[in-house]
Every structure is written in structure tokens, then in C-alpha cells.
Structure 1
Amino acid sequence: LIQRYGFGTAFGVAAALAALALPYFLVVDRVFPTPNSQPPSENPL
């Protein structure tokens, strides 16, 4: 990409990908929530 279009375009593409990554992970986090890592409140014994 740098050899064909230059450093400015390459950094622009990298910045655009980085800017789009945060909304992507926020959406995926809402669609696939992580399970609760706390143990159950009941006593197993």
C-alpha cells in the first residue's frame, strides 16, 4: 500500500480501520455478552 499510494494514504487507511474497530467491538460485545464470571450464590455443600 505504501509503495503504490504513499505513506499518507497508508496511515489514513490504518486510522480508518482503527476508528472502525471500536464500534465493531462494542456491537459484538452487545450481541455476544460474556458470561458472568462470579460463582453461584448457593452453597454447594
Structure 2
Amino acid sequence: MFRVEVFNRLGFVNLRRRNKGSSSSSDSLSSFVGSLSSGTR
């Protein structure tokens, strides 16, 4: 559980950083993070 939280936090940070660069890559990342959090639960 603790690992999932850290991973989600890292994913969010990456999303924010990528959002500044390109939106298409951020969309892919958000989908990946969402799938990960959904799978772990």
C-alpha cells in the first residue's frame, strides 16, 4: 500500500512535468498511472 502511494505521487509529479512539455505524452502517462492504481487495488 505504501509503495502504491509513492508510485502515485511520482506519477503525478511526472504528469505535471510532462504537461508543461507536451499534452499527448501526459495523456499516455495519466492513462498508465490510472491503469496501475486500478490494477493494484
Q: Greater relative contact order (Cα 8 A, min sep 6): structure 1 or 2?
A: 2
Larger helix percent? 2
- Superposition TM-score, scaled by structure 2 size: 0.49
